[in-house]
Amino acid sequence: MLELKGVRKRFGGQEVLLGVDLSVKKGEVVALIGPSGSGKTTLLRCANFLETADEGTMIFDGERYDMARARRAEIAGIRRRTGFVFQSYNLFANKTALGNVTESLIITRKKHRKEAEEIGLEALRRVGMADWAAHYPSQLSGGQQQRVAIARALALDPEIIYFDEPTSALDPELIGEVLAVMRSLAEGGMTMLVVTHEMSFARSVSSRTVFMAGGAVVEQGPSADFFRAPREERTRAFLASLAEERK
């Protein structure tokens, strides 16, 4: 479904991605883990063209794209088929929860308001936020905002959703509700690429885990194997440091 090959990106003099290869099959949930600053966010942003990669090939649904030179129409086409959930939610501050979800349905998909609202309410229902449809983002907790953000992505019926540390900005007691929604999406067969620091989520929900460090993929494998017996020293050190933090 998605294949990234040789993705390179530098910011000024700093090489952030050193030729990353990554693939996600249809229906697969891939966890992307790694220390802060290793380039995970940048990789997701390049995949959705919020940043332009310096080099790299993307194969999306069988179509091949040059990530450094994708045309505007190609970018729009890819974005139309992907969802993106930000660490900081980024809900539209001037729209209600429902308005956030229906905005693009109405504006880019040309749906009538009524139809858009039906789809929107259904999406909000899936994340348990239908009762909050009329609330503005500022009236919602972080966990609620993030669930609305997930609904906003869902409503557009994406083929894959990218999550960039969706629970990192949340108070600990709110993390569970967001992870529960993501777990149910995974069980429903949604294709997901999830940057996360939640190892229990990676272990129990994702089918495959990819470990990145210093702008490159260090190790990857089926999540069960990956966590039971990491092969690389750097992976072990990273997992140990997380376990240490937990204490």
Partner 1 sequence: MSANVWQLLVDSFPDILLPGLIQTVPLTVISFSIAFVIAVGVALIRYAHVPVLEQLARIYVWAVRGTPLLVQLYVVFYGLPSVGVRLASFPAAVIVFSINEGAYCAEIMRAALEAVPVGQMEAGYCVGMSYWQIMRRILLPQALRTAFPSLGNSLIAMVKDTSLASNITVAEMVMATKYIVGRTYQALPLYIELAVIYLMFSTVLEFLQRLGEKRLNASVGREVKRIA
Ligand X SMILES: Nc1ncnc2c1ncn2[C@@H]1O[C@H](COP(=O)(O)OP(=O)(O)O)[C@@H](O)[C@H]1O
16 makes contact with ligand X (CB under 6 A): yes
153 makes contact with partner 1 (CB under 8 A): yes
41 makes contact with Mg ion (CB under 5 A): yes
Pick from 67, 127, 156, 193 the residue near partner 1 by CB under 8 A: 156
- Nearest distance from C-beta of residue 91 to ligand X, angstroms: 21
Quote helix, strand, coil % in the chain, to nearest 5: 45, 25, 30
End-to-end CA distance of the chain: 39
Strand, coil or helix: 215: coil
Distances (CA, A) of 68 to 71, 73, 129, 215: 9, 14, 38, 17
State which residue, 108 or 241, has the beta carbon closest to partner 1. Answer: 108
Pick from 4, 7, 22, 40 the residue near ligand X by CB under 6 A: 40
State which residue, 161 or 218, has the beta carbon closest to partner 1. Answer: 161
184 makes contact with partner 1 (CB under 8 A): no
- Nearest distance from C-beta of residue 36 to ligand X, angstroms: 4
Any bridge partners for residue 23, and if so which?
3
11 makes contact with ligand X (CB under 6 A): yes
- Nearest distance from C-beta of residue 135 to partner 1, angstroms: 7
Q: How many residues does the chain have?
A: 247
User: Per CB under 6 A, which of residues 41..70 are in contact with ligand X?
Assistant: 41-42
38 makes contact with Mg ion (CB under 5 A): no
Which letter, b or e, does each residue of 207-226 get, where b requires 16 or more Cβ atoms within 10 Å of its Cβ? Answer: bbbbbbbebebbbbbebeeb
- In angstroms, the CA 160 to CA 153 distance is 10
- In angstroms, the CA 243 to CA 247 distance is 7
- Nearest distance from C-beta of residue 49 to ligand X, angstroms: 14
Q: What is the DSSP string of 110-140?
A: ---HHHHHHHHHHHHHHTT-GGGTT--GGGS
Q: How many residues bind ligand X (CB under 6 A)?
A: 10
Where does this chain bind ligand X (CB under 6 A)?
11, 16, 34, 36-42
Residues at the contact surface with partner 1, assessed by CB under 8 A: 48-50, 76, 79-80, 82-84, 86, 88, 90-95, 103-104, 107-108, 135-139, 149, 152-153, 156
